[in-house]
Structure 1
């Protein structure tokens, strides 16, 4: 008996994330073969398989099984960068699964405009000072540690009048020692600020008023805060790892995420050369083309409707029997 599913032949099932621990892709595979609909699935990154030591818990095996199921189930997989597409293709080759078409879409990056609404008190306090902005969940992979060490290096070299270093994000995995250092290190007291539960409107204000942004992540599937920074017209000093250079192109500067002396040196240089920052911001405003989120949604629907026109019911792209 045919299962009761809300899809018919010619429909396209679209899932944009959280499949790996919340959806039964084996069941989906059976139903799409039975009913004749198509499946458009997503790959943000394969970091839990590629770099499991940078992720919480032992999830590498679960992620590998998930992507094996994706390979059998998907009629197309949308990846959020060329880096993620290459990583997924390499993983599927290693797993010995079929390879569905792997396409790349560009994520949206535009925040709502700054409104006249109220500003949170902790955000307002930051906005009244010179500051550098790092937007990210505070977890080990994002590499806040390099910025903390770069700041302590500058302080130990008797640098004065350093701007605030502002971390915007919720605490995550693997940073208990770092957060303790930030609380107790007398050198950075009052210089490194952590903001949680920041609204979109306040985040837009922070981007607007920052001297520039930083993004020293060890590995990314894309690097949305870099795109948001550029959309706000702000220069970013970023890691050269993984997909991040795809985001910033030649509009920003890249450093080895582990090279603390280089981060300290380039931070100091930009702190003391506001004219260079102004030139870079002017170039960003002239050349960067932000991706609106509605356009991103449209691109996804184009893949679902134009690229996945369903064949006759019962056929299957990856029928290997």
Structure 2
């Protein structure tokens, strides 16, 4: 039996980053193992795992079924969501699972979730449980860039230490693996097996056959509203170009994040929009709307300072849209796998503005990047699944 900790993806219809990939893992394992897969969530009040309610399973399997329009944070402030959560709370104890008593030596507990919370306190019990315990580690961002708004860096350090209690920790990029091993070494922790399994394309079905669309002069940036994602640097770069008379539009797509980060970014968006600049925040949108956004874009920008992987780069290239991004760390790993990326110093507004101008005004440069994006090959969920199954089987 494979027990899957899907706490965050089963708690909200937000479908970006970690939640999106956890849902992909669930689809893959459900297709391969059927009744041999049991998705669970951590009950923070009961301090135990629990089976999913019908509502939570819908979040995991069909995240867009519960809302019909773009939202800053899907599910927040919705009376239907609150009512459903209240009904779920009445059956909580009935769904509790004593996993330590239930697991068998051949079983696996897979934790692809981001466990930056108090559930790590229970991990001390894992050594007494039969079976193998495996986690996916997404990034060490709070330690690499400490002091971010809304970040509990001390708790994240506990999470990194707690990962060493597991049998295996899957890392999503070489940079993430190097970071994890470095912080373990700093804390005097013996390393555990840390295989690297990069994320696949998160979408299913055939690849869209989107033709080049430079004449639209339209850019999108897909990322949650967090300062380390460099929205303010991007907006400064765009304002330089708009002030010079260059015509183009920009859409920001993604959920709210830390309160003050989001407020600062949206305040700048409002200031620019009030001056007539063609920029807007489209909030969190469905996969169908996201596919349409990529289709309508000329190219995308991804100026994030640092990532554990950089999934929107893959998303853009999958949709045959060139990407302007940095070349550092895991972002550089993704960019270096093929063509389609225009690499810049993403922390420099002038450099970012220059790259945007080039793809807008230089048809040959745009076509070169477009053809590079089209020539890309991608890891599928089938490819990822083979690597995951090998890790789950163990030595």
Q: Please classify the TM superposition score into its range, dividing by the shorter chain length.
A: 0.7 to 0.9
**1:226 matched to which residue of 2?**
313
Gaps of 5+ in 1: 115-127, 310-321
TM, length-normalised to structure 1: 0.82
**1:8 matched to which residue of 2?**
104
C-alpha deviation, 1:39, in angstroms: 1.0
C-alpha deviation, 1:29, in angstroms: 4.2
Q: How many residues align?
A: 287
Deviations 1:88-130 (A, max 9, x none): 110100011121011110112243569xxxxxxxxxxxxx953
**1:289 matched to which residue of 2?**
377
- Are 1:110 and 1:290, in contact at CA under 8 Å, matched by a contact in 2? no
- Residue in structure 2 matching 1:184, options 241, 250, 271: 271
Gaps of 5+ in 2: 1-97, 207-214
Query: What root-mean-square deviation, in Å, do the aligned CA atoms of Structure 1 and Structure 2 show?
Result: 2.4
**2:167 matched to which residue of 1?**
75
**2:47 matched to which residue of 1?**
none
Supply the distance in 2 between the matched residues of 1:213 and 1:167 (Cα, whole angstroms). Answer: 10
**1:208 matched to which residue of 2?**
295
**1:260 matched to which residue of 2?**
349
C-alpha distance 150-12 of structure 1, shift in aligned 2 (>3 A): same
**1:105 matched to which residue of 2?**
197
C-alpha distance 139-155 of structure 1, shift in aligned 2 (>3 A): same
Deviations 1:137-164 (A, max 9, x none): 01111111111101111223x223x211
Supply the distance in 1 between the matched residues of 2:201 and 2:380 (Cα, whole angstroms). Answer: 6
Supply the distance in 2 between the matched residues of 1:55 and 1:289 (Cα, whole angstroms). Answer: 37
- Are 1:12 and 1:40, in contact at CA under 8 Å, matched by a contact in 2? yes
**1:30 matched to which residue of 2?**
125
Query: SS in structure 1 opposite 2:170?
Result: strand
TM, length-normalised to structure 2: 0.67
Within the alignment, does 1:167 sit opposite 2:252 as a pair? yes
Deviations 1:64-109 (A, max 9, x none): 11111111x2111100100101111101000111210111101122
Runs (4+) off by over 4 Å: none
Deviations 1:252-283 (A, max 9, x none): 12211221111111211111023322232223
Query: SS in structure 1 opposite 2:102?
Result: coil
